[in-house]
Structure 1
Amino acid sequence: MKRHNRTKVSARLLGLSAAVLCAAATAFTYTAATGAAAPDEPTGRSAEPSSASTRTVRYDLGNEAWHLPQTGEPVELTGVVHYPAHLGTGRHPLIVMLHGWHETCADRKAAAARAAAESSGDDAAYKAASAKLFAWPCAKGTPALPSEHGYDYLGRRLAAEGFVVVSVGANGINASSVSGDDNAAARADLINQHLRMWQELSSKDEGELAGKFADPATGAARRVRFAHHVDMGDVGIMGHSRAGAGATWQAADSHRKQWPKGVDVKAVAAVAPAYNVMTENMADYAITKTPFAVLRGTCDGQVGREAFSFAADAAKGNRGGFYRFAIHGANHNYFNTQWSPRSRQVAASDDATPAEGHPGQCTDHEGAAPAKQLTEPQQRHVATTYVGTFFRRHLLGDTGRNQVLTGVRHPDAALTDVDVTTAAP
């Protein structure tokens, strides 16, 4: 096996090499808005595929309901589900979303202790506090940090356009000992575990999820007839941060045999993906059959531009379509509401680097050109535009927004610039 080479810029951030981008790809900057098209009824889609009215339920099979194949460490099987209020008579594509690495327990005392230890340089106290913040399961009386709810804004929007969307928890993986490629593989395994449960529910109205849905606010049981209304042959996967690597691993050509029987992944999106750039086997990430999109902000303080170059390497020869979106002024954490300051959640932060001499503007650790920093709502609005357009194109067959994916039109030009590189099928 050959190590995946990069030009080293710092201990954590590696530079983008234009040479790895597909030769046929062309870059554009958007300039105008675009319209939408309805999905085709003959494909078996619901008679009511889009609705402004959506509903939300949650399932929780327990904090130790599953165990990592690599180490046996416990992982929760939880998910928050957004879906059209009227499921109609047909089937809806399923989108599974997964969060990346972040604190697992909302322990405010531990967070304060860690901050104090960092300020004073007390390494022992810092490690002790961090252990509480990254425990799994969390200590009695300490709530789990619900990172899976961080994409509710996106889930609701996608549900309004006709998708069933489930965002799943991965706190157990974040607290585990797995790292590097093993971490990506573990997240892929977790995605497949949820897909297996949804396949059984959809086809037979049986399995672990049957009768397990509840109101996310009150906990009251909710009966939702998802059976025969979810199209497991038309699945999209979205992963953020380290889950971006997990989503890429899950959709890779070499891992398709691990998909549950009856499941077909038709599109994968990696949002600010944190890849293992020292991987020795790129075949574990190579995607040539499935449409693949990658997004990153120019003010990302955690993931460097290797997110683009690694994804481009993984997408070499992709016949389904490869799309790259660089969002000016976007950071890493604002894609997840639970990681963002306005939530007032434990460990929430703005990771963008202020641009010296440019008030209100930001950059990244690699010295990207200063850009006006997007607010939390603005960044999520732009992310929703591109993630939603990508999934509509490749799960619903909506070609009405192709000019967004190819960079001819820019619906959010009033907010920011988005650099687009695309190698369309």
Structure 2
Amino acid sequence: MKFLRTAVAALALATAIIIAPQAEASQGVGVVEYNLGDQAFHDPTVSVPMELAAVVHYPRDLGGRPHPLIVQEHGSWWSCVDPVAKTPGGDWPCPPGQRPLPSYRGYDYLGEKLAERGFVVVSISANAINAHLLGDEGYYSRAHLVNKHLELWRDLARGQGPLAATLGRFRGHVDLGRVGTMGHSRGGKGVMWQASDKHTPEWPDGVRIRAVVPLAPVYFNSTEDDNSDVLVTRVPFKVVIATCDGAVGTVGLQYVTDVQGKNRDASSVVMQGANHNFYNTEWSPGKIGGEDDAPADCVGKMTPARQRGDAVREIVSFFASRLR
């Protein structure tokens, strides 16, 4: 797949970049967003252009050392909202009168806690994929989108590329040899695809994935007996699943089953009473389109706050132990 890296690296990016500083998440943690445009990424293997937008949580005091990088990727949800009618929509780019639904901001609580532990955390937007791409194209596009952001951050760490002019504070402060990924729902399969033995050659030069967390991930293969696109035997990973998940259930355990005897550092944790949507604050009740997906008869249902707190504990401890 060397051709893919070469072709993607040669793509021209939009020249305009929007950096929108946000209020500090907490003492010691900074937040910034970048956006290169709704159709900035033209992957030659994907039928539609994708946005290059993300929010970054980072230690305000970057010190004199490089920090591990974590990339988060959300799953399939609405792509736009009408703030007047208070209804969600599924187009991309968003039509007049609608604005992007910021699924990538739904993990701010996790990004903040990871940044407090010294990580630079980039949560990326995948609304174009949600609006237009299904099947395998929807999964490898998620993997390629992760790789594109990693390419941007590799260049930024060297003081190069389209992010350098406005995010120069990160030059020399990000270690692309210590990278973790977290994907929720369809994003969970996306990061497993990106980390798989088969697709390791597509990683940008200078990047090494050392830990992966599929969070409430989907699991199915287009060819029933061929799981090679998501078979991860050389990278540690931890699957987090939920007993009240009304969207995908506990199928993500299959990722661990697939590598028994092949990956010594593949594990899982079952969160009793957790559902699917509460992991993302933008998918939860109170937000346009948000809902509680847990079955009505599910026993021991968690509150959103407790579910996110338990997820933080599991995910932060895993990344802290694998990326140090």
Give the TM-score taking structure 1 as reference length. 0.68
Q: Which has the larger radius of gyration?
A: 1
Q: Distance in 2 between matches of 1:66 and 1:145?
A: 19
Residues 1:207 and 2:161 aligned together = yes
Q: Quick check: 2:81–2:98 contact (8 Å CA) kept in 1?
A: yes
In the alignment, what sits opposite 1:327?
A: 271
Query: What is the aligned length?
Result: 298
Q: Distance in 1 between matches of 2:240 and 2:143?
A: 19
Residues 1:381 and 2:309 aligned together = yes
Q: Distance in 2 between matches of 1:94 and 1:308?
A: 26
What amino acid is aligned across from residue 85 of structure 1 in structure 2? R
Q: Distance in 1 between matches of 2:49 and 2:69?
A: 26
Q: Distance in 2 between matches of 1:278 and 1:199?
A: 32
Residues 1:65 and 2:40 aligned together = yes
In the alignment, what sits opposite 2:281?
A: 337
Q: By how many angstroms is 1:67 displaced? A: 2.6
Residues 1:158 and 2:114 aligned together = yes
Q: Quick check: 1:290–1:320 contact (8 Å CA) kept in 2?
A: no
Choose the corresponding residue for 1:136, options 67, 87, 92.
92
Q: Distance in 2 between matches of 1:229 and 1:317?
A: 37
User: Using a 3 Å threshold, how does the CA distance of structure 1 residues 93 and 105 change in structure 2: closer, same or farther?
Assistant: same
Q: Quick check: 1:147–1:336 contact (8 Å CA) kept in 2?
A: yes
Q: Distance in 1 between matches of 2:49 and 2:90?
A: 13
Deviations for 1:187-221, whole angstroms, at most 9, x for unmatched residues?
A: 00000000001000102x110212345xxxxxxxx
What amino acid is aligned across from residue 374 of structure 1 in structure 2? M
User: Using a 3 Å threshold, how does the CA distance of structure 1 residues 148 and 133 change in structure 2: closer, same or farther?
Assistant: same
Give the TM-score taking structure 2 as reference length. 0.88
Stretches of structure 1 lacking an aligned partner (at least 5 in a row): 1-50, 113-131, 214-223, 356-361, 363-369, 397-425
In the alignment, what sits opposite 1:267?
A: 211
Residues 1:197 and 2:152 aligned together = yes
Q: Quick check: 2:178–2:210 contact (8 Å CA) kept in 1?
A: yes
Q: Matches of residues 119-130 of structure 1 in structure 2 within 5 Å?
A: none
In the alignment, what sits opposite 1:75?
A: 50
Deviations for 1:76-121, whole angstroms, at most 9, x for unmatched residues?
A: 1001000001000001000000000000001257765xxxxxxxxx
Q: By how many angstroms is 1:140 displaced? A: 1.9
Q: By how many angstroms is 1:319 displaced? A: 3.5
- Partner of 2:81, secondary structure, is coil
Q: Matches of residues 13-412 of structure 1 in structure 2 within 5 Å?
A: 53-107=28-82, 133-176=89-132, 178-203=133-158, 205-213=159-167, 224-280=168-224, 281-309=226-254, 311-341=255-285, 344-355=286-297, 362=298, 370=299, 372-396=300-324
Q: By how many angstroms is 1:276 displaced? A: 2.4
- Partner of 1:257, secondary structure, is helix
Q: Distance in 1 between matches of 2:83 and 2:104?
A: 19
Higher relative contact order (CA 8 A, sep 6+): 1
Deviations for 1:96-149, whole angstroms, at most 9, x for unmatched residues?
A: 00000000001257765xxxxxxxxxxxxxxxxxxx711000012311000000
Stretches of structure 2 lacking an aligned partner (at least 5 in a row): 1-25
User: Identity of aligned pairs, percent?
Assistant: 44
Q: Distance in 2 between matches of 1:225 and 1:258?
A: 28
Q: Distance in 2 between matches of 1:241 and 1:321?
A: 21
Q: Distance in 2 between matches of 1:259 and 1:306?
A: 27
Q: Quick check: 2:69–2:179 contact (8 Å CA) kept in 1?
A: yes
In the alignment, what sits opposite 2:17?
A: none
